[in-house]
Amino acid sequence: MSQDSLLDRALVRLDEAAGHLSIDPDVIEKLKYARETTKARLMIRMDDGSRKSFLAWRCRYDDTRGPTKGGIRFHPDSTADEVETLAFWMTFKCAVMSLPYGGGKGAVQVDPRKLSKAELERLSRAYIQAFSRIIGADRDIPAPDVYTNSMIMGWMADEYAQIVGQAEPAVITGKPIALGGSLGRNDATARGGYYLVRHLAQDLSLSQTMRVAVQGFGNAGQHIASLLAADGHKIVAVSDSQGGVRCDAGLHVDMLIDAKNAGRSVASTAGQGGHETLPADDLVGVACDLLVPSALESMIHEGNADSIKAKLVLELANGPITPEADAMLAKKGVAVLPDILANAGGVTVSYFEWVQNRQGFYWTVEEVYDRLRTIMEREGRAIWSVSRDKNVTLRTAAYIHALKRLAEAIEAHGTQSFFVS
């Protein structure tokens, strides 16, 4: 794998897209760098009375199209480079979906599984205390990400309200329903990908009964498995960070979800219902029609891409395929529905939540699903058309689609808005 930073590898996509458009070089220069990245050290009191500190970041990558938007992840391996890259992807994701947002992201370098609930709440509130001057309903809007959830967003929204002296529900999305969260948010990332696959199934020559392998079985992985299984597709392999299972006749998805809800790995179901042990690293090479990476970045790389047998890859994770692996898959004829389109259901329903918070009027779950499906199908169809018209991969087409919108907005602002004369 290349030794370039994660952001350097992500910027390869920008350069590829720019080669297909007549873009002012100033636009490309602006999009190569984050507008601002803030670093803080969060000091919290642990349950045993000691104090411990954790590194944290918040990046506002680009706000040309509106306030920056992006999740906050709690992960022991988080870095500033990762945060800026995720914010870059969010910039393009929001442009792909034509949302009035720019891209942002946040992280705390911590393993939340080692914290008590009280310690986790203190850490969540400390994050808002550190970054309250950066976020805001019209400036930067956080949401859940890896190892964060609606409960944590609720604590953060409450802390922000205490700091500013009034409730500001639109400042954070992915909140509990009781605090202004939107119906349909919990499965939005997976559901958006599901709608996309269903809409493009005929164009992609997909079978009516697909064999599906899911890498990563957190929120997105569980929901995509459930949605596809309910449509009659066979989930033949699943993995998480501790192992995997396979069953050619189809795994019992409910059994896998029950194991995760009980704090166990999917591997703990091996020996039950025909489930067989599968090393997590072997999942990408399982014989299947659809591979769904829904874990972390760079999980598919030049070392394992050649083993992929799937006809289609649906990227529910952010950046799961490296540029080197992408080129290998294209050469093999494997279609990839790219992350900035495929997993954009999450940020789209976050946008719906933000709109509902500002209006004080809330939609039914059917309305949320209908609006999400309409947008996923509209943008998916547009990107499919760009891919065919320009004879490029779906990923390059998605970046072309987004870059055109970003360039129009940047140029409309005028060069003096982002360069000092």
Q: State pLDDT tens for residues 78-133.
A: 999 999 999 999 999 999 999 999 999 999 999 999 999 999 999 999 999 999 99
CATH code of the domain made up of 188-342: 3.40.50.720
Taking residues 234-254, report their average pLDDT.
95
Positions marked active-site: 105
pLDDT attached to residue 298: 81
Per-residue confidence at 414, pLDDT binned at 50, 70, 90? confident
Q: What backbone torsions phi and psi does residue 196 show, to the nearest 5 degrees?
A: -65, -50
Per-residue confidence at 412, pLDDT binned at 50, 70, 90? confident
pLDDT attached to residue 415: 59
pLDDT attached to residue 416: 57
Q: Taking a C-beta distance cutoff of 8 angstroms, is the pair 122, 45 a contact?
A: yes
Per-residue confidence at 1, pLDDT binned at 50, 70, 90? very low
| DSSP 8-state symbol, 181 | P
**Exposed, middle or buried: residue 41 (CB in 10 Å: 0-12, 13-18, 19+)?**
exposed
Domains 34-179 and 188-342 share a fold: yes
Taking residues 133-151, report their average pLDDT.
95
- Residue 164: strand pairing partners: none
Does CATH place domain 34-179 in 3.40.50.10860?
yes
Say if residue 419's pLDDT is above 60.
no
CA gyration radius for the chain? Answer: 21
pLDDT attached to residue 135: 96
Q: What percent of the chain has pLDDT over 70?
A: 98
Listed range (48-57, 226-235, 289-298, 332-341) with the worst mean pLDDT:
289-298
Mean pLDDT (the chain, rounded): 94
Taking residues 167-195, report their average pLDDT.
96
Q: Using a cut of 0.85, tell me whether the model's pTM lies above it.
A: yes
- Residue 271: strand pairing partners: none
Say if residue 378's pLDDT is above 90.
yes
H or E, element range at 319:
none
- Where are the domains positioned within the chain? 34-179, 188-342
